[in-house]
Amino acid sequence: MWNSFRTDSHQAMQCEITTYKAGNGDYIHAYVARPGGDGPFPGLVVIHHMPGWDEFYLEFSRRFAQHGYTVIAPDLYCRAGHGTPDDVAAKVRAEGGVPDDQVVADCEAALHWLKSLPTSNGKVGVLGTCSGGRHAMLVAGRVRGFDAVIDFWGGGVVASPEQLTAKRPVPVIDYTKDLTCPVLGIFGNDDQNPPPAQVDQHEAELKKHGKQYEFHRYDGAGHGFFYYHAPAYRQQQAMDAWGKVFAFLDKNLKG
């Protein structure tokens, strides 16, 4: 089981909110979780979901650190001001979200931040849930240097012309041809965004361009089925998917 550590193993991590030089030279907040020890450790850029840079994402980051990954989780909403995560997310929502170009720049800077660490093994993945899943695919398509990407139920990877805006001018699926790293997709078959038909489209595009990928699609699960604080949580599907996640990351980032 992915969550069965040895009782005589070394378990330590260091976590803090810090600032780093992100897109446009702006200094923004990031939650950093580092495994204890000298490494070398692979890195992960963890992209928060639409509800914001919240409690769940700090815990999510710590889980990866506990499994030997140095995590940086940028606060993509940092420029909107500060308050409780839901208040800040509401402000960003009213502003139409954060621009794709800004997200790409923030995450590219996070990639370089991870690779510059003396404990880095040189490999870095990018992942996120919900809007963060879409952002992860966006970033992996546009930035060179990632070694793995995980899309957790990212809504809006497939977008119709009328869904495009000045902040999201290009459908993320259009960057599929540019991917240079393996893809893991985790989806619930009861999800409405992305619905199974869009996941089919996404998968067809990956196949068309000969990309290395694996999609796992769960019956009896909808959007956000890892969210143990919400009714969406599905224990069996989440536990299985976590196993797939660590198998994928360990293979591509620790090898």
Answer for the pair 182, 140: CB distance below 8 angstroms, yes or no: no
- CB-nearer residue toward another protein: 71 or 88: 88
**Measured from the CB of residue 241, what is the shortest distance to another protein in angstroms?**
18
* 81, 122, 169, 220: residue in contact with another protein (rule CB under 8 A): 81
* Beta-strand relationship, 120-129 and 41-47: parallel
Residues 180-239 that bind another protein (CB under 8 A): 192-193, 222-224, 230-232
Does 93 help bind another protein (rule: CB under 8 A)? yes
| Per-residue binder mask for another protein (CB under 8 A), 26-65, x = binder | -----------------------xxx--------------
Structure tokens at 170: 């290009």
SS3 for 138-194 is HHHHHCCCCCEEEEECCCCCCCCHHHCCCCCCCCHHHHHHHCCCCEEEEEECCCCCC
Size of the site for another protein (CB under 8 A): 34
| Per-residue binder mask for another protein (CB under 8 A), 138-177, x = binder | -----------------xx------x-x--x---------
- Which residue shows structure tokens 């790293």? 181
119 vs 98: CA distance, rounded Å: 31
Q: Which stretch binds another protein (CB under 8 A): 75-83, 116-124, 173-181, 206-214?
A: 75-83
Answer for the pair 214, 201: CB distance below 8 angstroms, yes or no: no
* Interface contacts to another protein, rule CB under 8 A: 49-51, 80-84, 86-94, 96-97, 130-131, 155-156, 163, 165, 168, 192-193, 222-224, 230-232
